[in-house]
Amino acid sequence: MTNSKKAKLVSIIIRTKNEERFIGQTLSVIYSQTYNNFEVLIIDSGSSDRTIEIAKKYAVTVFEIKPEEFTWGYALNYGFVRAHGEYIICLSAHALPLSDNWLEIIIDNFKDECVAAVMCNTLPWPDCNPFDRRGLLKKFNIRKQDLKVGGPYIFGNVSSAIRKNVWEKIHFDESLTYCEDEEWMRRVKRLNYKVIYEPEAKVYHSHNENLKGIHKRAFSQAYAVTTLKFEEITLWNIFFEVIAGSLYDMLYVLIKFENLKWFLFAPLRRIVIGYAKLKAVLMAK
pLDDT in tens, 93-124: 999 999 999 999 999 999 999 999 999 999 99
DSSP for 71-136, written as a single string: -HHHHHHHHHHH---SEEEEEETT-EE-STTHHHHHHHGGGSTTEEEEEEEEE--TT--HHHHHHH
Model pLDDT for residues 171-212, shown as the tens digit of each residue: 999 999 899 999 999 999 999 999 999 999 999 999 999 999
**What's 227's DSSP letter?**
H
Among residues 169, 204, 239, the one where a domain terminates is 204
Model pLDDT for residues 252-265, shown as the tens digit of each residue: 999 999 999 999 99
129-146 mean pLDDT: 95
Same-domain pairing of 101 and 218: no
Same-domain pairing of 191 and 236: no
State the first-to-last Cα distance of the chain, in angstroms, to the nearest integer: 54
Same-domain pairing of 182 and 135: yes
72-101 mean pLDDT: 97
| Closest by CA position to 44, among listed 66, 77, 11 | 66
Indicate which CATH number applies to the domain containing 100.
Answer: 3.90.550.10
Model pLDDT for residues 236-249, shown as the tens digit of each residue: 999 999 999 999 99
Measured distance CA(232)–CA(129) in Å, rounded = 28
Q: Would 31 be classed as within a structural domain?
A: yes
